[in-house]
């Protein structure tokens, strides 16, 4: 029996939700963005009218205004978007328990085992279109395929409010002519590497030598080769898997450019305190720390490092992040945003401290962390701060107010997360 996978993407999600609460903005070019005065001034989402002027997600608000002088900009309301995201997942789970989120506005649904073919799956997709617009007031684009990668690709092909079916019989005609950059996980850097090698389309990638790709790009190159050929067999998460935390992290766009190691250290301390506190709240430890950096040219990099022993200690997590940064970030361009994430999580074992090296030092760190957690639980996050964070306005950031739970990724293991 063939697998039937749907990928549902809510169109211009943030902007669509805002228009329901601000009907006076309907029919006008609209962008949802951060606070430009606090340097959160990028386009997070835009509606179709703004898209016609060339407004792009991720560009600075001032650039968007140059393209579209009449652009209406509204600040993001994440609790509101989360509410609609949860309502959408409730609808999806009325069809299948196998629902996996890929951000607030995207989900995969696994309909395998329902004794249906792709034609019947496309009819169910149309039913979903109607339910989402009637019950939530937003439109969706849906991809239907036998694997997650092609389903995701299909949802991008017929926007807005369309359905695209990609089957084992038609994927060479529908997918292979597309630019290689359209494939999931092919970022700008990887795209350039492919193009320098004469690989311009997904079809070019699919017929390339897997040995050559692995030699040039490592296991990521081989993974992308399999994706281009429709050979993705990754599972869609069960409903009861949604609550399993795969990683805990924070990311932040800073109030000003970070121009030196001291600035970076301050932010890693702020982020690390938040990440470590959440691990302790959930009784978890991490065996792997990853960081992400986005410079003022909006170029993003990320790396990860396995730890010698699991930890939930703030200073150890921050120390790992700084070690990764000093080893890998060689460009030293001004930095606009940063992220820190704890991965490879496991239940914490308080007794484990007694059998590890540097016992007294680690026990002291643990007591300090617990004392800080207790004080903040009673008097608020800003009631106690590390002295180092008082050196600069950057250190006053309350990173715990804004956190990111990272989605389950196809990319597992390895030292480098991405170079895109």
Token pair for 58: 């991720």
The Cα 406–Cα 417 span in angstroms is 13
d(CA 147, CA 1): 13
Q: What are phi and psi of 340, to 5 degrees?
A: -135, 135
Closest to 58 measured CA to CA, from 192, 188, 155, 161: 188
* Two tokens, residue 404: 């990111």
Q: Which of 100, 106, 273, 316 is catalytic?
A: 106
Closest C-alpha among 5, 413, 405 to residue 223:
413
Which residue is listed with tokens 């006008």? Answer: 28
Give yes or no for a contact between 30 and 19, defined as CB atoms under 8 angstroms apart: yes
Cα distance between residue 160 and residue 28, in whole Å: 17
C-alpha 127: how far from chain center? 28
Non-local CB neighbours of 411 within 8 Å, separated by 6+ positions: 185, 220, 223, 417, 418
CB 26 within 8 Å of CB 19 = yes
Residue tagged 């601000």 (tokens): 22
Report the candidate in 336, 360, 126, 347 with the shortest Cα–Cα distance to residue 251.
336
Residue 215 bears catalytic tag: no
Q: How far is CA 358 from the centre of its chain?
A: 36
**Which residues are identified as catalytic?**
106
């Amino acid at each position: 029996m063939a697998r039937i996978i749907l990928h549902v993407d809510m169109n211009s999600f943030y902007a669509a939700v805002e228009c329901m609460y601000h009907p006076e903005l309907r029919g006008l070019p609209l962008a949802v963005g951060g606070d430009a005065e606090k340097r959160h001034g990028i386009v997070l989402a835009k509606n179709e009218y703004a898209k016609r002027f060339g407004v792009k997600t991720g560009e600075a608000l001032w650039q968007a205004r140059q393209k579209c002088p009449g652009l209406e900009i509204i600040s993001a309301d994440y609790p509101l978007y989360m509410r609609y995201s949860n309502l959408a997942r409730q609808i999806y789970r009325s069809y299948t328990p196998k629902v996996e989120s890929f951000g607030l506005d995207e989900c995969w649904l696994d309909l395998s085992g329902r004794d249906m073919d792709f034609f019947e799956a496309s009819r169910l997709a149309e039913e979903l279109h109607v339910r989402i617009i009637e019950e939530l007031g937003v439109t969706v684009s849906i991809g239907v395929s036998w694997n997650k990668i092609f389903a995701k690709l299909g949802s991008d092909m017929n926007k807005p409010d369309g359905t695209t079916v990609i089957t084992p019989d038609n994927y060479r005609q529908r997918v292979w002519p597309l630019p290689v950059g359209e494939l999931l996980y092919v970022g700008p850097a990887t795209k350039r590497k492919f193009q320098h090698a004469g690989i311009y389309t997904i079809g070019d990638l699919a017929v390339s030598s897997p040995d050559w790709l692995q030699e040039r790009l490592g296991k990521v190159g081989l993974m992308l080769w399999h994706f281009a050929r429709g050979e993705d067999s990754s599972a869609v998460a069960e409903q009861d898997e949604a609550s399993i935390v795969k990683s805990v992290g924070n990311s932040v766009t800073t109030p000003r450019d970070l121009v030196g190691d001291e600035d970076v250290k301050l932010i890693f301390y702020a982020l690390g305190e938040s990440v470590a506190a959440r691990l302790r709240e959930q009784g978890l430890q991490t065996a792997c720390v990853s960081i992400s950096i986005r410079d003022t040219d909006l170029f993003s990099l990320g790396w990860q490092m396995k730890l010698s022993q699991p930890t939930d200690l703030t200073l150890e997590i921050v120390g790992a992040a700084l070690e990764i940064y000093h080893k890998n970030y060689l460009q030293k361009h001004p930095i606009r945003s940063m992220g820190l994430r704890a991965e490879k999580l496991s239940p914490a074992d308080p007794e484990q401290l007694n059998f590890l090296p540097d016992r007294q030092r680690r026990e002291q760190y643990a007591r300090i962390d617990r004392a800080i957690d207790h004080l903040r639980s009673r008097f608020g996050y800003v009631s106690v701060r590390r002295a180092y964070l008082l050196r600069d306005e950057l250190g006053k950031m309350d990173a715990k107010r804004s956190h990111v739970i990272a989605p389950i990724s196809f990319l597992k293991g390895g030292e480098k997360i991405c170079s895109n």
